[in-house]
Structure 1
């Protein structure tokens, strides 16, 4: 099967070159300085997760002389779209929608090609208001990302998977249930990740041994569990980088990080004899910040199974230490003895369903009315904050937007109350919940 082609399209200065460099993985020289249209776009080969595709970048047009710019932009953009199997339409989330975005949006809309709308420069959740403006383009849900900081690449992968053919997998419709569920198994070195995966596969596919850190790379393995196709990632142990202690906590091995980004469900494997060490909590923070679904595996359970009440204690400890993923499944297992694997996989598949869940706007607004009646938002400068309307803007993980007045003045404690209330009302255990607050009118209320 020939490699699919994806075109990056958008007005100047939205970050197309940065996105191209991020995807290709190296800084290719900018456009040739020779005159002529042929060099006005760059091409590169991309490996994103397990996808392989060619990327076309039209950013070089921004270097053209002003008088010929508009015509050349249109011609090159049209040529790139015509050649592409899918289009990444990029806007600047911080600037919001500008008139200059419209002609490009028009070209993309007319093309009848699958379009992924990217709201770039949304690092740290900034510019979400601009991302919501992009709904007005009628090109589907915007994917917020930061090409410069590499945030949101997992969401981009999910969106591309939905429109590009599966690589080297002609029989994707056969067997299993559609696309494989991507599961990463991460944890401190020597938590028993490789032993567990070998037991799951029923063969010694991975090298195991008592030395910590024996797995050098992230390995992806196709597997089937009860008719469900699974893509398993075993990762090098998330370990402290030598003598950069203050930095560790920031990051673990980059390969493990990559596996977390491209997984849907992450199993954080703890050693049940020494659970919830500081590094375990750091790994869970990483999983949450990447927006992945979480399951906690208590490995080596056979060594502590004789301690009455331990499981209950550890579940309570998980609730206390990991409020950001409240309700995450805590599964006792033994990779060595092959116990608890079915329990673990049931937890993985049900958490994946929660992560993918979409809730109707009517139900969310019914929840909002009950939640704000039970505990009204506080007053700010003598004026009560009013939350008028709520909706779910995306799944994977569940992301909700609230609209109202003075929402930026809501205290953290109240947004925490709303997140916990959402989690409880709609049964969303073990997944990060994103909440965006937007001060604006209710789009459905014509009376204002």
Structure 2
């Protein structure tokens, strides 16, 4: 069932993101005292006293030239207003109605959808005069509200109940993911300005995310629903990840931690590299982080159109990848151009394949046949004159593939031998590019003499 959409709009720093977090019930949007923190439209699903809707947090409305970053942010907000079933227009009750509020009240009125006027920061009765002043906007009765403290939620609920479209009963029994099945969660990560938002805009076929030449435009982790060849995909665009030592801005620290959270929620992570300067130290650190979180990895070489004329470059970069990233040996490396829309189909094929590998299960009998052959070909070493014995192996879980080995003295097994086993598992059972976990379980039987 398609949920109705509610857009939160207003000038910068009136508390839109705090209201968004309050409605969604968790801190999804970045909140800071500085104006202009939110730059893209951020969406979240809300269940509020029996009401179910999608809420959109928008960038603060400001009068700006369309060519500037602020102007592009305004266009994003206007697009959200046009798509909304209901608009929550937020003002700062303590500041009262400012001249900057008037043109945007006019914009919201012209959109023709129901508007609920919220006079925020009116906690404990402060700012009530500013709330009454909001009548002058011509948007109806304002609701005195405090997003910070949750005051006014009852009045907001009543107002929403009166204007939200009623659900279509014919669609009520459709399951959460619809006919296409469960959504595959995909996060797009990378260094700042690698082209993540441009790539997602190209995938969606619309300018859904704010882009531009300025590095670090995306600050929130944005979640978007999409469909590729009938497969439901939930895309997460994230803020560019920098080395921690270079992050001295509190807001950017929040953005990077938001990106890490998106990685943890994802099943497949596309690490986007700039093909003109690939495999920088920071790229390797990000891939290492994704692997340590146990997520399937696909590497996208973005801006490939700028280097496509260099013969043998792709082969060289794939060899570099094998050498630099042994922990994800065999990972798919896909050349593409988000700007030109090239290579997107191959990227998504690699994403779906990576998800299948990540979710793979192998029978215990096949694993032990392989183990017997692997240990015969290269037996484990001896420790203090006593040979380490690996008796048995099984897969304990998938997502990512996790295997357990049982035997004696396994805590003394050298790292080089566990690497040999992991590489053998990867090759024998076709597990390219996915993290592989190996648990060593030494026998606790005191009568087991090996």
**Shorter-chain TM-score: what band?**
0.5 to 0.7
CA shift, 1:188, in A, is 0.3
Shift of residue 440 of structure 1?
A: 1.3
Cα-to-partner distance string for 1:359-382 (whole Å, 9 max, x where unaligned)? 000001111001000100000000
Distance verdict in 2 for CA 1:169–1:243, change over 3 Å: farther
Other structure's SS at 2:360 match: coil
Q: CA deviation at 1:243?
A: 4.5
Per the alignment, residue 334 of structure 1 pairs with 337
Which of 305, 310, 315 aligns to 1:307? It is 310
Structure 1 position 216, deviation (Å): 1.2
| Cα distance in 1 between the residues matched to 2:352 and 2:345 | 11
In structure 2, the gaps of 5 or more residues are 2-24, 29-42, 48-171
Alignment of 1:38-117 (within 5 A): none
Asked if 1:269 is matched to 2:272, the reply is yes
SS of the equivalent of 1:223 reads: strand
What is the aligned counterpart of 1:175 among 153, 168, 179? Answer: 179
Tell me the residue number matched to 1:77: none
Cα distance change of structure 1 residues 194 and 352 upon mapping to structure 2, 3 Å threshold: same
Tell me if structure 2 keeps the 8 A contact 1:386–1:404. yes
Return the TM-score normalized by structure 1.
0.60
C-alpha deviations, 1:252-291, integer Å up to 9, x for none? Answer: 8101101110000000000000000000000001000000
Rounded to whole Å, the distance in 1 between the matches of 2:371 and 2:254 is 37
Structure 1 spans left out of the alignment, 5+ residues: 2-44, 54-167
1:290 aligns with 2:293: yes
Distance in 1, Cα, partners of 2:255 & 2:223:
19
What is the rounded CA distance, in whole Å, between the counterparts of 2:330 and 2:283 in structure 1? 17
Pair 1:324 & 2:323 matched? no
Q: Cα distance 1:213–1:389, how it changes in 2: closer, same or farther (>3 A)?
A: same
TM-score (norm 2): 0.59
1:307-328: CA deviations, max 9, x gaps?
0000000000000000000000
Whose radius of gyration is greater, 1 or 2?
2
Contact in 2 for aligned 1:403/1:441 (Cα 8 Å) = no
Report the RMSD for the aligned CA atoms in angstroms.
Answer: 2.8
The alignment covers a number of residue pairs equal to 284
- The aligned residue for residue 131 of structure 2 is none
Give 1:427's aligned residue.
430
Conserved 8 A contact 2:272-2:300: yes
- Match for residue 185 of structure 1 among 185, 188, 196: 188
Q: In structure 2, what is the Cα distance between the partners aligned to 1:251 and 1:422?
A: 38
Q: Give the 3 Å change call, closer, same or farther, for CA 291–169 of structure 1 in structure 2.
A: farther
Aligned mates of 1:251, 1:308 — CA distance in 2: 41
Q: Distance in 2 between matches of 1:290 and 1:315?
A: 23
CA offset at residue 239 of structure 1? 1.8
Deviation per CA, 1:211-244: give whole Å up to 9, x if none: 0000110000000000000000000111234646
CA distance in 2 between counterparts of 1:242 and 1:407 reads: 38
CA contact 1:207–1:215 (8 Å) conserved in 2: yes
SS state of the match for residue 214, structure 1?
coil
Give the aligned partner of residue 215 of structure 1. 218
- When residues 50 and 355 of structure 1 are mapped into structure 2, their CA distance, relative to the original with a 3 A threshold, is farther
2:364 match: 361
Q: 2:177, 2:206 → 1: CA distance?
A: 27
Name the CA shift for 1:52/1:169 in 2 (closer, same or farther; >3 Å). farther
Distance in 1 between residues matched to 2:334 and 2:395, nearest whole Å:
30
Residue 121 of structure 1 is matched in structure 2 by none
Determine if the alignment matches structure 1 residue 381 to structure 2 residue 384: yes
Cα distance change on mapping 1:327 and 1:257 into 2, 3 Å: same
Alignment of 1:401-440 (within 5 A): 401-440=404-443
Query: Match of 2:375, SS?
Result: helix
Instruction: Give the aligned partner of residue 41 of structure 1.
Output: none
Taking a change above 3 Å as real, the CA distance of residues 296 and 263 of structure 1, as seen in their structure-2 partners, is same
Q: Deviations over 1:200-221 (max 9, x none)?
A: 0000000000000001100000
